[in-house]
Amino acid sequence: MTDLYDKTNPKHVDIKEGIEKGNSLPELAIWHEVDDAMKEAGFELVESKDLSPTSDKKTPWHLPLSGSLSISGFKHTRWGRWCTHRMVSWLEWAHIAPKGTTEVSKILMDTADQLVLGGETNVFTPLWFILGRKPLKE
Residue 84 has pLDDT above 90, yes or no: no
Q: How far apart are CA 52 and CA 49, in angstroms?
A: 9
Question: In a 3-state reduction of DSSP, which class is residue 32?
Answer: helix
The per-residue pLDDT for range 29-47, each reduced to its tens digit, is 999 999 999 999 999 999 9
Domain ranges, residue 105: 10-133
Q: How far apart are CA 98 and CA 57, in angstroms?
A: 41
Q: How many domains does the chain have?
A: 1
60 within a domain of the structure (yes/no): yes
Lowest-confidence pick of 5-14, 40-49, 64-73: 64-73
Q: What angle do CA 50, 33, 15 make, to 5 degrees?
A: 65
- Helices then strands, counting H and E runs in the chain, come out as 5, 2
138 within a domain of the structure (yes/no): no
Q: How far apart are CA 89 and CA 101, in angstroms?
A: 8
Q: Give me the mean pLDDT over the 14-18 stretch.
A: 95
Residue 124 has pLDDT above 90, yes or no: yes
104 within a domain of the structure (yes/no): yes
Q: Give me the mean pLDDT over the 114-126 stretch.
A: 94
Q: What percent of the chain has pLDDT over 90?
A: 62
Residue 69 has pLDDT above 70, yes or no: no
The per-residue pLDDT for range 42-66, each reduced to its tens digit, is 999 999 999 988 888 888 888 888 8
What is the per-residue pLDDT for 58?
A: 84
67 within a domain of the structure (yes/no): yes
32 within a domain of the structure (yes/no): yes
What is the per-residue pLDDT for 56?
A: 83
